[in-house]
Amino acid sequence: MSQLRPYLFRPEQRLRTSASFQAVFDSPLCKVAQPQFLVLVAKNQQPKTRIGFVIARKKVRFAVERNRIKRLVRQSFRLHQYELPAVDIVFIARQGIDSLANHELTKALDKTWQQLNRRYHASLKATDENSISHSHPRV
Protein backbone atom coordinates (compact mmCIF):
# COMPACT_ATOMS: atom_id res chain seq x y z
CA MET A 1 0.00 0.00 0.00
CA SER A 2 1.45 3.36 -0.99
CA GLN A 3 1.64 6.14 1.55
CA LEU A 4 -0.29 9.30 0.73
CA ARG A 5 1.43 12.60 1.32
CA PRO A 6 -0.48 15.40 2.98
CA TYR A 7 -0.71 18.26 0.50
CA LEU A 8 -1.29 20.92 3.13
CA PHE A 9 0.00 24.45 3.44
CA ARG A 10 0.97 24.85 7.07
CA PRO A 11 2.01 28.05 8.89
CA GLU A 12 5.61 26.84 9.21
CA GLN A 13 5.83 26.84 5.39
CA ARG A 14 5.42 30.63 5.27
CA LEU A 15 8.13 33.22 5.46
CA ARG A 16 6.90 35.49 8.23
CA THR A 17 9.67 37.69 9.56
CA SER A 18 11.42 40.52 7.79
CA ALA A 19 14.72 38.79 8.62
CA SER A 20 13.61 35.72 6.63
CA PHE A 21 12.70 37.89 3.64
CA GLN A 22 15.91 39.89 3.95
CA ALA A 23 18.00 36.71 3.94
CA VAL A 24 16.48 35.77 0.57
CA PHE A 25 16.88 39.29 -0.85
CA ASP A 26 20.50 39.58 0.33
CA SER A 27 21.80 36.31 -1.05
CA PRO A 28 19.53 34.58 -3.56
CA LEU A 29 20.96 31.31 -4.80
CA CYS A 30 18.99 31.54 -8.02
CA LYS A 31 16.15 33.48 -9.68
CA VAL A 32 13.32 32.48 -11.96
CA ALA A 33 11.82 35.36 -13.93
CA GLN A 34 8.55 35.47 -15.80
CA PRO A 35 7.12 38.61 -17.41
CA GLN A 36 4.53 38.97 -14.63
CA PHE A 37 6.52 37.83 -11.59
CA LEU A 38 9.94 37.02 -10.18
CA VAL A 39 10.85 34.17 -7.83
CA LEU A 40 13.96 34.42 -5.63
CA VAL A 41 15.39 31.31 -4.00
CA ALA A 42 17.80 30.96 -1.07
CA LYS A 43 18.95 28.02 1.05
CA ASN A 44 17.29 27.53 4.39
CA GLN A 45 18.14 25.53 7.49
CA GLN A 46 14.69 23.92 7.67
CA PRO A 47 13.60 20.53 6.34
CA LYS A 48 10.70 22.13 4.40
CA THR A 49 10.34 24.59 1.58
CA ARG A 50 8.97 27.96 2.70
CA ILE A 51 7.36 30.70 0.63
CA GLY A 52 6.69 34.41 1.12
CA PHE A 53 4.86 36.97 -0.99
CA VAL A 54 5.66 40.51 -2.07
CA ILE A 55 2.62 41.84 -3.89
CA ALA A 56 2.71 45.63 -3.72
CA ARG A 57 -0.44 47.69 -3.97
CA LYS A 58 1.37 49.78 -6.56
CA LYS A 59 1.67 46.70 -8.83
CA VAL A 60 -1.74 45.11 -8.11
CA ARG A 61 -4.19 47.81 -7.17
CA PHE A 62 -7.19 45.94 -5.79
CA ALA A 63 -7.05 43.75 -2.69
CA VAL A 64 -9.33 41.16 -4.25
CA GLU A 65 -6.78 40.68 -7.06
CA ARG A 66 -3.84 40.51 -4.63
CA ASN A 67 -5.68 37.87 -2.62
CA ARG A 68 -6.56 35.89 -5.77
CA ILE A 69 -2.92 35.85 -6.83
CA LYS A 70 -1.74 34.74 -3.38
CA ARG A 71 -4.40 32.03 -3.28
CA LEU A 72 -3.36 30.65 -6.69
CA VAL A 73 0.35 30.74 -5.85
CA ARG A 74 -0.27 29.01 -2.50
CA GLN A 75 -2.37 26.35 -4.23
CA SER A 76 0.29 25.69 -6.86
CA PHE A 77 3.04 25.67 -4.21
CA ARG A 78 1.03 23.24 -2.07
CA LEU A 79 0.67 20.79 -4.98
CA HIS A 80 4.37 21.00 -5.95
CA GLN A 81 5.92 21.18 -2.47
CA TYR A 82 7.33 17.65 -2.56
CA GLU A 83 9.06 18.25 -5.89
CA LEU A 84 10.84 21.37 -4.61
CA PRO A 85 14.11 21.41 -2.63
CA ALA A 86 14.18 22.68 0.97
CA VAL A 87 14.65 26.38 0.22
CA ASP A 88 13.12 29.76 1.02
CA ILE A 89 11.16 31.24 -1.88
CA VAL A 90 10.04 34.84 -2.28
CA PHE A 91 7.37 35.47 -4.92
CA ILE A 92 7.48 39.06 -6.21
CA ALA A 93 4.59 40.33 -8.34
CA ARG A 94 5.28 42.56 -11.32
CA GLN A 95 3.05 44.95 -13.23
CA GLY A 96 0.43 43.10 -15.28
CA ILE A 97 0.08 39.98 -13.14
CA ASP A 98 -3.50 40.94 -12.29
CA SER A 99 -4.44 40.69 -15.98
CA LEU A 100 -3.56 36.98 -16.09
CA ALA A 101 -6.45 34.53 -15.94
CA ASN A 102 -6.33 31.81 -13.29
CA HIS A 103 -5.36 29.06 -15.74
CA GLU A 104 -2.62 31.22 -17.30
CA LEU A 105 -1.09 31.99 -13.89
CA THR A 106 -1.29 28.33 -12.87
CA LYS A 107 0.44 27.29 -16.11
CA ALA A 108 3.18 29.90 -15.60
CA LEU A 109 3.69 28.71 -12.01
CA ASP A 110 4.00 25.06 -13.09
CA LYS A 111 6.75 26.11 -15.51
CA THR A 112 8.38 28.21 -12.77
CA TRP A 113 8.59 25.31 -10.27
CA GLN A 114 10.29 23.15 -12.93
CA GLN A 115 12.78 25.91 -13.76
CA LEU A 116 13.40 26.54 -10.06
CA ASN A 117 14.31 22.87 -9.55
CA ARG A 118 16.71 22.84 -12.51
CA ARG A 119 18.39 26.15 -11.64
CA TYR A 120 18.71 25.32 -7.95
CA HIS A 121 20.42 22.00 -8.65
CA ALA A 122 22.64 23.61 -11.30
CA SER A 123 23.69 26.35 -8.87
CA LEU A 124 24.43 23.77 -6.19
CA LYS A 125 26.56 21.82 -8.62
CA ALA A 126 28.40 25.00 -9.64
CA THR A 127 29.09 26.03 -6.02
CA ASP A 128 30.28 22.51 -5.19
CA GLU A 129 32.66 22.54 -8.16
CA ASN A 130 33.97 25.99 -7.17
CA SER A 131 34.58 24.92 -3.58
CA ILE A 132 36.39 21.77 -4.72
CA SER A 133 38.60 23.65 -7.19
CA HIS A 134 39.49 26.28 -4.60
CA SER A 135 40.18 23.84 -1.78
CA HIS A 136 42.59 21.60 -3.70
CA PRO A 137 45.54 23.43 -5.20
CA ARG A 138 46.74 22.14 -8.53
CA VAL A 139 50.21 20.73 -8.67
pLDDT tens by residue, 51-75: 999 999 999 999 999 999 999 999 9
Mean local confidence (pLDDT), 81-101: 94
DSSP letter, residue 97 = G
> Ramachandran region of residue 96, left (φ > 0), alpha (ψ -120 to 50) or beta?
left
pTM score, whole prediction: 0.86
C-alpha 29: how far from chain center: 11
Kindly indicate the confidence band of residue 133, based on its pLDDT and cuts at 50, 70 and 90: low
Mean pLDDT, the chain, whole residue set: 89
Domains of the chain by start residue, with CATH: 11-120 (3.30.230.10)
* Residue 106 CB burial class (10 angstroms; 0-12, 13-18, ≥19): middle
